[in-house]
Structure 1
Amino acid sequence: MSNIYLGCAIWGYRPWVGQFLPAGTSNGDMLKAYAERLTTVEINATFYAVPDQPTLLRWASDTPSNFRFCPKVPRAISHSGNLTQQIAATKAFVAQMQFLGEKLGPIFLQLGPSYSPANFGDLQTWLAAWDQRVPLAVEVRHRGWFAAQAAQRLNGLLAEHGVGRVLVDVRPINTGVTSDQVILDARRKKPTVPYHVDVTAPFVLLRFMGHPELAIDQPLLEQWADTIVAMLNDGLTVYGFMHCPIEERSPEMCEILAQALVARGVAYPLPTPPAPIQQLSLF
């Protein structure tokens, strides 16, 4: 298998049962069923609470050897405003995540919108204390980080430590004029950051903020397929996460991207739903 992993932000989504997941799937079997169809998942739950050892060991045992979990750093650390004061808590979190064993993919730090280039020294100190044996990606949301000089400085710091810069693509969800409250709420919650493809580590973590109308997503996913192929040819490992405010569409976006990759010669196993996913208009 090529070093490409595709997945969603969750696995325990009940409306998927009978569509993306087999009919009759119990809550306890949802991760197993999900991991038969996709190869990675964000663990957003760790943003709010750190799972105990038995839970992490169960998740690891419920997934195949090629599956990867990408946990989010707890908000008590990432949104504290002072990462330097959270180094001990960070080390404890990283130690806990080791119970996932070989299933642990990159951990990612999602910084709050107020964490700006003025906090560069704080981030620098925190990264210096990070265990570089554990892959890490950093997502910045303050627009100041995207100014040329600040971006160059940030990218240099991340590259120095072998840390990835999370690629967040909000173009699809921000496409078009709408009065749909679901889309408006999604636009309000998601960061308004510029499109960029900055590679600072041996791996890439992409978060694609899709639109419920798959016809909007498809050309952008085709573009990402070209970019991902180039990344794979450069020897990078790619983790691609599909987000949608209507979560029923997220696995379909994974399938569109997987099909685009296969069409470009990438040996990626397609998601294999037990019954045809409800097809939405792509054109």
Structure 2
Amino acid sequence: MTGRLFCGTSGWTYPPWRGVFYPKGVRQRDELPYMASRVSSIEINGSFYSLQRPSAWTSWYAQTPPGFVFAVKGPRFITHMKKLNDVRTPLANFYASGVLALREKLGPCLWQLPPNLGFDAARLATFFSELPRSTMEAVALAHRHDERMTDRTLLTTDADRPIRHALEVRHASFVTPDFLALLREHRIAVVVADTAGKWPLLRETTADFAYVRLHGDQELYVSGYTDEALDAWAATVRPWLDAGLDTYAYFDNDVKVRAPVDAMGLARRLDAYSPTTAR
């Protein structure tokens, strides 16, 4: 059985996209449905900067079609401020904030580490052990939220589903077989991150799915991908799909409005693996 491709952009609310990717007359509140009609997945990055409310998650679910999937970026409070230490309560707050309102559209949770955080196997293993691996585990964890979440929680799930996790690293010390072995032991996907050479590019699969973030191959967050570059990334992804790995790919080169164009370009090259045309 082949894997499914979920391909899109990291975020969708960018003022420079208006009048360029989003046609004039498309209201800001209609931008998500517009984007969701052109890609199969979006990475929610607002959750990285602050906890969202249940009403927001519920709205995002309602504005997207059946079969659409969201990846969800975990809070920087956990990854950048706490540096993965003593994060059970912040994790509970995150999962209590409404994430589970995405129901069957909830894809992987992305955890992006800061550039100043190096490889520490014990720290990572502790963090991995605290991550919920199903929506029912997430509900149990969410019930441990603190008082700051009062009156802004969603503490139920409509069904018990697996929750996948992916880790993006930005320190050279992670370029070691020990790191990849640890990810495989805990079934965490390493993020294959193209960052114009700034941070490690680990072209590996360490879980039962693959996760790719394309930040720009020449200039971080800016440069678009040429036809040749998209062909090369399609050639990278295709064997994973053929091996049965669902693959999530997100373009983050948003500055010059290249991300949506490049996402649709990669998806076209791998159309046979899209959720609506998968074999």
Higher helix share: 1
Partner of 2:147: none
Tell me, what secondary structure is at the counterpart of 1:106? strand
Query: Among the aligned pairs, what percent are the same residue?
Result: 30
Shift of 1:224: 1.2
Partner of 1:43: 44
In structure 2, distance between residues paired with 1:27 and 1:245: 17
Matches within 5 A, 1:199-278: 199-210=205-216, 211=218, 214=224, 217-262=226-271, 265-266=272-273
Contact kept? 1:84, 1:123, Cα under 8 Å: no
In structure 2, distance between residues paired with 1:54 and 1:266: 32
Tell me, what secondary structure is at the counterpart of 1:79? helix
Contact kept? 1:137, 1:164, Cα under 8 Å: yes
Partner of 2:167: 138
Answering whether residue 25 of structure 2 is matched by residue 24 of structure 1, we say yes
In structure 1, distance between residues paired with 2:91 and 2:256: 30
In structure 2, distance between residues paired with 1:101 and 1:31: 17
Cα deviation 1:100-126 (Å, max 9, x = unaligned): 111111011101112112x32111111
Shift of 1:17: 3.9
Moved over 6 A (4+): none
In structure 2, distance between residues paired with 1:166 and 1:137: 6
In structure 2, distance between residues paired with 1:100 and 1:231: 26
Tell me, what secondary structure is at the counterpart of 1:108? strand
In structure 2, distance between residues paired with 1:209 and 1:269: 26
One-letter amino acid of the structure 2 residue matched with residue 194 of structure 1:
P
Tell me, what secondary structure is at the counterpart of 2:257? helix
Query: CA RMSD, aligned part only?
Result: 2.2
One-letter amino acid of the structure 1 residue matched with residue 248 of structure 2:
Y
Contact kept? 2:16, 2:255, Cα under 8 Å: no
Partner of 1:120: 121
TM-score (norm 2): 0.80
Shift of 1:50: 1.0
Partner of 2:103: 101
Partner of 1:169: 194
Shift of 1:18: 4.5
Cα deviation 1:160-186 (Å, max 9, x = unaligned): 221111110124xx5xxxxxxxxxxxx
Tell me, what secondary structure is at the counterpart of 1:116? coil
Tell me, what secondary structure is at the counterpart of 2:214? strand
One-letter amino acid of the structure 2 residue matched with residue 156 of structure 1:
A
Tell me, what secondary structure is at the counterpart of 1:105? strand
Partner of 1:158: 183
Shift of 1:27: 1.1
One-letter amino acid of the structure 2 residue matched with residue 129 of structure 1:
E
Contact kept? 2:223, 2:253, Cα under 8 Å: no
1:247–1:41 Cα change, 3 Å: farther
Tell me, what secondary structure is at the counterpart of 1:109? strand
One-letter amino acid of the structure 2 residue matched with residue 144 of structure 1:
S
Please list every run of 5 or more consecutive structure 1 residues that lacks an aligned counterpart in the other structure. 175-191, 271-283
Shift of 1:62: 0.5
In structure 2, distance between residues paired with 1:267 and 1:30: 22
Cα deviation 1:117-154 (Å, max 9, x = unaligned): 2x3211111111211222110111111111xxxx2211
